[in-house]
Amino acid sequence: MTYLTKPKLHHPSLQPNQLGFTRRDYEGAISTLCAGCGHDSISAALIQACYQLDLPPHRIAKLSGIGCSSKTPTYFLGASHGFNSVHGRMPSVLTGANLANRDLIYLGVSGDGDSASIGLGQFAHLMRRGVNMLYIVENNGVYGLTKGQFSATSDCGSKSKKGVANTDEAIDMAAMALQLGATFVARSFSGDKTQLVPLIEAALSHRGTAFIDCISPCVAFNNHMGSTKSFDYVREHNEAVNFLDVITPRAEITTEYSEGAVQEVTQHDGSILRLRKLAGDYDVNDRIAAMRFLAEHAAEGEIVTGLLYVDPDAEDMHLHIKTVPTPLKDLNETALCPGSAALHKLNASLR
């Protein structure tokens, strides 16, 4: 493969964030995905969100499985740590890393095949555990990397490029995440950056499992007439429930809101999620209502997007299982090898 290296020079007009980094410092290698692939827009949104949140790139760990979507961590946050695991196993690898080192900001990038087909079991268990992370599925309804077979999120009746209709029911990953206990659940569309960027910001500042199902059309294999994951189809059937502004603890509140229902959610880090409601009195803190809302609208053929649910009092896995506060790698030899007397004492405490 030939890589184009980006010039190191920064344009003087690039605005630095509070850490002194410009947007460029959050970019990665030049993408080798198909031109127009939805996944590239998600990478751009991730770059924008991390830049705006002033996240130190080296504190972010990007993990992924296998697929075009799982390749994307190469194309953003070049200064962050990366780990490509195997197909469908990112959740367990990320859970292990998070348990051993809670100090990093965890970002899991996956595809609908990686998470809903081969990785469904691991996806489900990660959601249940409350792993503190942003889990983003770049959902195109097909296995892009292996040339367009239907994945488990492909809608029943959706047609392949060759015109064959899918006969299996689709898995709604956002609905699953809600049912399984994720404490932040959203759906978005790679073609809608104004919606996606704040969702990513909110998810990254959430403590607990934040899940974003991001519809991301595959221009090579699933962007034709008859597909329900094409740019045209998603634009026509997109039903946004709210519009989100994220106000970080440091930011001044400048935006003026006109009349209309606004719901505010303060997260544990002090960030305020300000939601302009678009769909009636949709309550973003009501999990059961969110599940019903999704199901009803899916039955009408609508793709509900926006912040679907957030639990502002979410707790994460470390709290649940009472882990040591220090990352394991920071425990020194005295702490790790205290001798046999300590082992005897430990065993005695079990008697």
Partner 1 sequence: MTRRFVEGSEAIVEAAILAGCRFFAGYPMTPFTEVLDHMAEKMPLAGGICVNAESELEAVGMAWGALATGARAATGSTGQGLSLMQESFSEITRAELPLVVVNMARGQSDYYQSTRGGGHGDYFHIILCPIDIHEAVEHIQLAFHLADVWRNPVQIYGDYLLAHTAEAVELEAIAFDTLPAKDWALDGSLNGTGGSRNINSIGMTKGNKGIEPERFWKRLQAKYEAIKIAEARHEAEFLEDANYVVTAFGTTAKFVRHVIREMRNEGSRIGYIRPITLWPFPSQAFCDVAGSVREIGVFELNGGQMIDDVRLAVLGAAPVAALGGISSDESGFGVGPLLNTDVIRSILEAAYERATGEEKDQ
Contacts with partner 1 by CB under 8 A lie at 1, 86-88, 117-118, 120, 143, 146-147, 149-150, 152
Sign, Cα dihedral of 17, 271, 309, 183: positive
Is residue 68 a contact point for ligand TPP (CB under 6 A)? yes
Q: Cα–Cα distance between 214 and 171 in angstroms, integer? A: 14
Residues 186-225, interacting with ligand TPP (CB under 6 A)? 218
Closest contact distance (angstroms) between CB of 281 and ligand SF4 is 37
Cα–Cα–Cα angle for 193, 45, 58, rounded to 5 degrees: 165
Q: Which of 68, 93, 215, 304 binds ligand SF4 (CB under 6 A)?
A: 68
Least distance from partner 1 to the Cβ atom of residue 171, Å: 10
List the one residue out of 199, 184, 205 whose CA is nearest residue 285. 184
Asked if 166 interacts with Mg ion (CB under 5 A), we say no
Q: Closest CB to ligand SF4 among 140 and 267?
A: 140
The reply on whether position 195 binds Mg ion by CB under 5 A is no
For ligand SF4, the binding residues in 214-253 under the rule CB under 6 A are 218-221
| Residues contacting Mg ion: total by CB under 5 A | 4
Within 10 Å of residue 248's Cβ, how many Cβ atoms?
A: 15
Tell me the window of 17-25, 107-115, 296-304, 336-344 that interacts with Mg ion (CB under 5 A).
Answer: 107-115
- Round the CA-based radius of gyration of the chain to a whole number and report it: 21
Of residues 154 and 242, the one with the C-beta less far from Mg ion: 154
Nearest one of 48, 184, 158, 177 to 115, comparing CA atoms: 177
CA-based torsion, 301, 303, 307, 308: positive or negative: positive
Contact of residue 66 among Mg ion, ligand TPP, ligand SF4, none (CB under 5-8 Å per partner type)? ligand TPP
Shortest distance, position 146 Cβ to partner 1, whole Å: 4
Is residue 66 close enough to count as binding ligand TPP by CB under 6 A? yes
Contacts 24+ apart (CB under 8 A), 45-49: 45/190, 45/193, 45/196, 45/197, 45/200, 46/76, 46/77, 46/107, 46/136, 46/200, 47/23, 47/76, 47/77, 48/23, 48/193, 48/197, 49/197, 49/198, 49/200, 49/201, 49/204
**Closest alpha carbon to 157 in 173, 168, 147:** 168
Among 28, 57, 67, 198, interactor with ligand TPP by CB under 6 A: 67
155 binds ligand TPP (CB under 6 A): no
Site for ligand TPP in 73-132 (CB under 6 A): 87, 111-114
How far apart are alpha carbons 232 and 102 in whole angstroms? 41
| 120 vs 272 by CB, closer to ligand TPP | 120
Beta carbon of residue 175, minimum distance to partner 1 (angstroms, whole number) = 18
What are the residues binding ligand SF4 (CB under 6 A)? 33-34, 37, 39, 68, 140, 144-145, 218-221
